[in-house]
Amino acid sequence: MSLQLITTPGGLIALVVRNHLIIHGDTADDSGVMVQTAADNLSTALGYSVNAVCEDLSFEDLIARYVDASPAPAAPAVCAKCGTSLDGQLCHDLTCPYSSWPQQVSLEDIHTLSADELAIKYELIRAEAHSDDHVIERPFFANDWFVAAQDVDIIVLAADDWGRSDVADSVARHFDGTSPVSSLFDYLSAKNALRTEVGFECTVNPKDALAWLRRHRHGLWAHLKCGEHEVRLTEATEPEIEGMWDWIGPAGDACDHSFNSADEAAVDAVKKLGLDPGGPVIPLYLGFWDISAFHSATGKDSRLIIGPAMFCEALGYSDEDIADIRNLAVGETWESPDFGPCHTVCRIR
């Protein structure tokens, strides 16, 4: 059961028990008024009624009241096809197709598409780790590492040809404790306990990684493409544009103006020099409409939106709103001038 004790400079003592806020006060002195004031302030901040209830109970009594209301522990995740428990990404049953592919991949696709086609369709980043003696070899999917990794780590990984380096090893270690990589580290621990030094190597599929980066971390992907084509990204040195970035192509051609970041400069270089054979990326947005201010047929306040077409005059967006949303860079958020934080749009690709 989650407990948190809170004290305030004014002398109030509060206890949080399973998301219930219990504030101590005495009707015989000012602390009772402070409790009512706290309830009123919470009501204003949350946008719905918060009632102060007067009960002559000790903290021990209140805790005991909520102990029995503790929810049962969550059921373990199981495979959608065979019902076997999941450990990390994959099914434990080696006869099940989901022992090789994550649950989001449809069975029909598993039976009809090649491994390369599945990786493209489901944006999977395949990787492989093996012990130095090749007794244990484990394929896995490295998406979670790429989601959390810093730009510099991915740049180093690419410079090391996507494997056999300290950064590549960190990709495998990220998944230690979950199947199928955990069995590799169990084997290494057993061997090393016998004073038989055995290491491991990890490699990431570069095609998968670049395809994922192009869609989800486009600025970083452009940065890598510039390195691949000998396009230099340089920080401007002129006093009036100090801190901004330029690019210079291999033939000496350069950008026509400076940019706020290296990623922006890289994206411009890729576009101007024609370094992207795959065509433009369709923007992906995360739209937020606070359900306390907007009706939601699904009861959810967020949704993914592919492309900017939905943000149009017919749906109440001004020309300025439309332009601001279209000009969002990946990671930037637009806030409605009319509704403030109740309606925002963040570009995530």
pLDDT tens per residue across span 102-122: 988 989 889 988 999 999 888
pLDDT at 243: 82
Is the torsion defined by CA of 85, 86, 92, 98 positive or negative?
A: positive
Let me know if 134 is exposed, middle or buried by CB neighbors in 10 A (0-12, 13-18, 19+). Answer: exposed
pLDDT at 4: 46
| SS3 assignment, position 342 | strand
The span from the CA of 198 to the CA of 320, in Å, is: 61
The span from the CA of 300 to the CA of 114, in Å, is: 36
pLDDT tens digits, 123-146: 999 999 999 999 999 999 999 999
Q: What pairs with residue 86 in β-bridges?
A: 91
pLDDT at 171 over 90: yes
| SS3 assignment, position 257 | coil
User: For the chain, what percent of residues have pLDDT higher than 90?
Assistant: 38
pLDDT at 48: 55
- Please check whether residue 20 is in contact with residue 69, taking contact to mean a CB–CB distance below 8 angstroms: no
- Please check whether residue 35 is in contact with residue 22, taking contact to mean a CB–CB distance below 8 angstroms: no
Give the lowest-confidence range in 148-162, 202-216, 264-278: 264-278
Question: What are the structural domains of the chain?
Answer: 3-67 (no CATH), 76-122 (no CATH), 123-215 (no CATH), 217-273 (3.30.160), 284-347 (no CATH)
pLDDT tens digits, 245-300: 999 999 888 898 888 888 889 999 998 998 887 665 668 888 999 888 887 766 77
Tell me the average pLDDT across 73-102: 82
- Please check whether residue 153 is in contact with residue 170, taking contact to mean a CB–CB distance below 8 angstroms: yes
State how beta strands 302-306 and 3-7 pair. unpaired
User: For the chain, what percent of residues have pLDDT higher than 70?
Assistant: 76
Q: Does an H or E element contain 70, and which?
A: none
The span from the CA of 123 to the CA of 323, in Å, is: 29
pLDDT at 3: 44
Confidence (pTM): 0.59
The span from the CA of 107 to the CA of 103, in Å, is: 9
The span from the CA of 140 to the CA of 79, in Å, is: 17
pLDDT at 193 over 90: no
pLDDT at 159 over 90: yes
The winner for highest mean pLDDT among 51-60, 167-176, 230-239 is: 167-176
As a whole number, the mean pLDDT across the chain is: 82
**pLDDT band, residue 74 (cuts 50/70/90):** low
> Which is more confidently placed, 78 or 62?
78
